[in-house]
Amino acid sequence: MAIKTTVELEQALKARGIPFTKVTPLNASTNFVWRIQAPDSSSTIIKHAEPYSKDSPDIPISTDRLDFEKKALEKLLKIIPQDDILRLPALRFYDADDKILQISDAGLRTLDEVYRNRMLNIPLFGRRIGKWLARLHASTRREETRNAFLNESAKEAYRKVYDTVPGIFSEWGHDASVVESINAKYGAFGQSESACVCHGDFSPENIVAQSAVAYGFSNHKLTVVDWEMVHDGCGSSDVAQFAADAWLLDRFKGGRELFGNFLRGYGEGVREGGGEVDDLFKKRAAAHFAAYLTFASTKAESVMKEETAQAIKLGFKILEKVLANDMEFVGTTFPGL
């Protein structure tokens, strides 16, 4: 059932007996998403998946992405240790046939949108997010759990992002063969052994910040959303993607120290659980960071040409250092891991 307009969604809600008084379409690139207001004035979020990207209909994407998101919200909520700041959305309803997912409304603004708000303790958020991610990875190492998230569609979509990196390096005057060398030495981007469950698109854009006054607290709650790219892996790509986005925010939007505190929090979380961030994980995370930073810096609207050049130059340098096995440089560049 195609649901691409507000009228079509309203018809679908009525057919399923889901009450509403107002339906508001939201900006989203992959799925069709709306905020639904109920008769009691509470709100929820509805997501619908078509077999393609909403913003790029010529790009096919499996609709099983919502099956995996629904599974994540069901299973991981029971596995990840409870946290007083971070949480997952609550699952309200799922129609597997028509790919309609209803979840709790986490709020209006994401972490990257509230990043400049001086009332918020961004360094604390960074540290807590890092620890939470480490706990996600540590608590999902059982084979039964990992096997529930063999999401090949997500891994393929992730790899396609990195397919653009050699072209970007060439365009900006760098040797694109460094990517082939990294792939040959450490495995293709997006590929690693199955060690835990990964969020798959872990970034400040997918963490919603909501005032916790309604919950009886004076601080904020953070909700980790958009679990459709969840998959099994080693966890380094989650660390790298968030770190790269945090680096861009710190570098170009106010220096709130999200990057360093996130990395320190992740390292602390791993060690608190009795683990260790080994050199192979660090090198994989560094390589992912470099590739994602290169890609993301060309997409960020707030980053100017000169700043893009700086980010790409850093990405290239990191890949060279990883190839040279320069762990001193990696350790200095990614403190706290």
CATH number at residue 26: 3.30.200
pLDDT of residue 300: 72
My answer on whether 200 and 242 are in the same domain is yes
pLDDT of residue 182: 85
* Angle subtended at Cα 111 by Cα 25 and Cα 116, rounded to the nearest 5 degrees: 115
- The predicted model scores a pTM of 0.94
b/e for 104-125, b at 16 or more Cβ within 10 A?
A: bbbbeebbbebbeeeebebbeb
Pairing of strands 220-224, 100-104: unpaired
pLDDT of residue 217: 43
- The Cα 227–Cα 185 span in angstroms is 30
Q: Which of 52, 70, 105 is the last residue of a domain?
A: 105
Domain count within the chain: 2
Host domain of residue 331: 108-337
Measured in Å, how far apart are the chain's first and last C-alpha atoms?
Answer: 46
- Segments in the chain below pLDDT 50: 213-218
Distance of CA 187 to the CA centre of its chain: 21
CATH number at residue 246: 3.90.1200.10
pLDDT in tens, 205-223: 999 998 654 444 445 689 9
CB 36 within 8 A of CB 46: yes
Q: Which of 41, 71, 105 is the last residue of a domain?
A: 105
DSSP 52: B
pLDDT in tens, 75-118: 999 999 989 899 999 999 999 999 999 999 999 999 999 999 88
My answer on whether 182 and 322 are in the same domain is yes
Q: Which of 86, 105, 124 is the last residue of a domain?
A: 105
My answer on whether 57 and 195 are in the same domain is no
